Amino acid sequence: MAKGKVGKTVESLGEYLREQRVAAHLTLRQLAEQAGVSNPYLSQIERGLRRPSAEVLQQIAKALRISAEQLYQRAGIVHPEDGVGGSVELAILGDSQLTERQKQSLLDVYASFLALNKGSD
């Protein structure tokens, strides 16, 4: 893994996004425009240098016409292997009354509870 990468999950997410963008016959600039993010920011996501928020992933998924849930799983936001199928995480991410920061805080608390419960099994 190259120096400066934020993690293997983010790197594989970037590779997947690049594959999807190429399959959709979109340039980096076109996808950035359609998703409402900057070209340099999208480039950093694709190269695994930045971890996008759930909101940005949702915008990218919409622009690529793919499932946002797929991107959440690849980004490590939703963990269906936890036995809940990601329903709690998806409910949090889909709540339009919460800010992006509130959503991330709830996801962090939920993940910490799951981790605690795994340790007590």
Beta strands (DSSP E) in the chain are none
Q: Which class would CATH give 8-74?
A: mainly alpha
Residue 50 zone, left/alpha/beta (φ > 0; ψ -120 to 50; rest): beta
The string of pLDDT tens digits covering residues 28-87 is 999 999 999 999 999 999 999 998 988 899 899 999 998 888 888 888 777 666 555 567
CA 109 to chain centre: 17
State pTM to two decimals.
0.68
pLDDT single digits (tens) 70-104: 888 888 777 666 555 567 888 888 788 988 788 88
- Domain positions in the chain are 8-74, 80-119
The tokens describing 66, both together, are: 């793919």
